[in-house]
Amino acid sequence: MPNDAQRAVDGASAVRLANIESGLVPRISEFFGIVIYMYWFDEQKHKRPHFHARFAGEEAVFDLSGRCMEGDIGARAARLVEEWCRERSIELRAAWAAAAAGKEIPWVAPLR
């Protein structure tokens, strides 16, 4: 039986998933079935610039260099995300700056 802390984590995950599925979280790119999201003012938990990637029902958090900080979307998808980060470094940093300032987050071109 889950304890209060686990229920809180599960509840927060459910809210985050509901926000993603309802379109309340900006989708900033999509390629090869990988969907990239970036939240506004999302600096509390991870303490550094990052984004969220979803693939095949799984989610992971990556820093802007493509290093996985949390979660797992599979090795192949993670390698594609890392490659995308290298290709789109400048655009990703601009997107993070907009998100941290609460501004509209621009679309970042997909992996070529």
**Total-model pTM:** 0.77
pLDDT digits (tens, 9 = 90+) for 79-110: 999 999 999 999 999 999 998 888 999 999 99
pLDDT digits (tens, 9 = 90+) for 9-19: 444 444 444 44
Q: Domain residues of the chain, as ranges? A: 25-112
Calpha distance 4→41 (Å, rounded)? 26
pLDDT at 73 over 60: yes
pLDDT digits (tens, 9 = 90+) for 28-46: 999 999 999 998 876 666 5
